[in-house]
Structure 1
């Protein structure tokens, strides 16, 4: 019976444990074949358990009912939405293309458009897909996920800023190609699991230039987008690269890709860092990175993430489920919520020790 380790942050209720779980204890704290419920998530957090072995797919799992008889629990196969299927196809395509680019092949903009346009049109119609992007990503294929997700987030930010649909689509394609120059970085550096040396870090910083060289001849991509690809690691305070540009020299399109790039990177699991809540990340971008990004672009991202209809179900960082009751326009990421289990009303703008960890999306 096939099983796989799942990060606690990605663990869903109803999954079935594939081994006894110990926590420096003589006896298991949770037995094999236990069906995960909300209380178990609290136990994992209390004992600092980060990963759990879980049965995969549609399996028949032996368990015990209240009368200690053996019964069959059927574990349902998680539903895959058409959007998720298209997204994963895009990631697989990009994985293959990176190998071609490494070998010297040119960027095929027609193929890129065919892959990205259905995805960006879906996200422009239903922004809630943005909340699922970091759950699709994984450490092994992070770079390809990052390219696709950065493009989608950049497209949505562009739309939110009032640009037309054509510009949003161009920005999505530019966002996807912003890191194509990473294909020119030696694999030993790009996939290194330990700290980069100063020389290796210098090489990584060349990727915007490599990306620009790869896209500059594409007639289907506007020159503004090519410039944005080149500048997407520049920062308004001069702390970025490759040229350390400052202020208005850095275009608004560059800033859109920059914010999308940082947001997805910080909300995804990496070799050296666990993924963080989108709500926590946009607070960090606004507060800790102040002065580096165009405030209009940051505010557009905040409006996208925090634009939660009343009644939206969320999970808090303390693992409680809650329902959004009121949006505080002075603290958009910290609404008034009602705990589903107890009915208690909590104002997240005054209780700062926890935050919304994820939106509970449907379909």
Structure 2
């Protein structure tokens, strides 16, 4: 029997009978989900008051569960879920947004404060590497600039750790990456909030943000000099096509390249007001092929291992919505394996079907 039930009265084993939304484009929980204690906590976190459900467990089963362990005790034993991590992420984005408006009003970044609200989130993401591939799903196109800065800090930290940097370097780089776009606060809001592509003049104005960012952090003793250089250079490219100075090859620091790859990856995989997001797998492929010569391949390979590492048997979703399983990995094209489709058992080779790509890994 389907009933509308208060979230506070839910029990593990109850079946959802409708999709649940929370001011989101897509449901935070799908119809026919069998609720666990973790799901119930998610509904509480998102402030969901009532849901349509079908009772699936008996009163006796619930009493037995309650007698052995409280809900809070069970919750404490669960690993951090995507939803709990997302809550922490959203709180960090809100804190960053507040600071951004202080910078716009003329204040310089309070690096101690920025460290305090960003590092706990960054360290949680670095510990749970599988969550990194979900960052583009967390982003909100209406407040992209704040989401982008937090996400680039997370990705830069994870890439640097993957490359073998010590924790001190990783955390310094994470803060530098988070603050790399602080100079955007000096760009006209009418340009930042524009919902169409920028004109040449507007883009020239935006390109000044790296200089503004450096100026805003230059006097702080809490960032090492090489991190300040990384902030200045995070839009430089190895072939000299970047800005603000057109530095190339050895003149471009590896720390700036890490921020650059994180920046481009998150920008291209996130939905924007003027264009849809791209598949993480497709973006890595584009960085390696279409942008060849611009980025250090060691950095790109580290990112690929974090968000695009595949193995035989991995279940995936393709960009056309089809589900399938990785059957064979090409040595020279690991992002384009052979996939066995779940729908009909047919096998498709992504190296010959270039219009398709892997959209995401299905856990």
| Corresponding position of 1:357 | 359
CA RMSD, 1 decimal = 2.7
Structure 1 residue 60, shift from structure 2 partner:
5.1
Q: Is it true that 1:323 corresponds to 2:325 in the alignment?
A: yes
State the distance in 2 between where 1:298 and 1:323 align. 25
Structure 1 residue 255, shift from structure 2 partner:
0.7
- Structure 1 residues 119 and 326 mapped into 2: Cα distance closer, same or farther (>3 Å)? farther
Q: Deviations over 1:10-58 (max 9, x none)?
A: 568835xxxxxxxxxxxxxxxxxxx9xxxxxxxxxxxxxxxxxxxx956
| Corresponding position of 2:134 | 132
Match of 1:264 among 263, 266, 278: 266
| Corresponding position of 1:198 | 200
| Corresponding position of 1:102 | 104
| Corresponding position of 1:44 | none
Q: Where in structure 2 are the equivalents of 1:184-223 lying within 5 Å?
A: 184-223=186-225
Match of 1:236 among 235, 238, 243: 238
Q: Which runs of 5+ in 2 are unaligned?
A: 1-19, 33-46, 54-80
Q: TM-score with structure 2 length normalisation?
A: 0.77
State the distance in 2 between where 1:169 and 1:350 align. 41
Q: Deviations over 1:151-194 (max 9, x none)?
A: 11111111121211221221111111110100111111211223
Q: Which runs of 5+ in 1 are unaligned?
A: 16-34, 36-55, 63-78
State the distance in 2 between where 1:327 and 1:173 align. 36
Moved more, 137-146 or 184-193: 184-193
State the distance in 2 between where 1:5 and 1:177 align. 29
Match of 1:163 among 165, 170, 181: 165
Q: Where in structure 2 are the equivalents of 1:1-363 lying within 5 Å?
A: 10=26, 14=30, 81-361=83-363
Question: In structure 2, the residue corresponding to 1:81 is in which secondary structure?
Answer: helix
State the distance in 2 between where 1:296 and 1:138 align. 30
State the distance in 2 between where 1:353 and 1:200 align. 33
Contact 1:235 1:246 in 2 (8 A): yes
Question: In structure 1, the residue corresponding to 2:141 is in which secondary structure?
Answer: coil
Number of residue equivalences:
306
Question: In structure 2, the residue corresponding to 1:332 is in which secondary structure?
Answer: strand
Moved more, 316-325 or 232-241: 316-325
State the distance in 2 between where 1:173 and 1:140 align. 24
Structure 1 residue 283, shift from structure 2 partner:
0.6
State the distance in 2 between where 1:314 and 1:86 align. 27
Contact 1:314 1:321 in 2 (8 A): yes
Question: In structure 2, the residue corresponding to 1:128 is in which secondary structure?
Answer: helix
Contact 1:302 1:332 in 2 (8 A): no
Moved more, 288-297 or 325-334: 325-334
Structure 1 residue 3, shift from structure 2 partner:
7.3
Question: In structure 1, the residue corresponding to 2:100 is in which secondary structure?
Answer: helix
Q: TM-score with structure 1 length normalisation?
A: 0.77
State the distance in 2 between where 1:146 and 1:282 align. 17
Q: Deviations over 1:91-134 (max 9, x none)?
A: 00011111111111121111211122112212222211111111
Question: In structure 1, the residue corresponding to 2:88 is in which secondary structure?
Answer: helix
Structure 1 residue 308, shift from structure 2 partner:
3.0
Contact 1:318 1:354 in 2 (8 A): yes
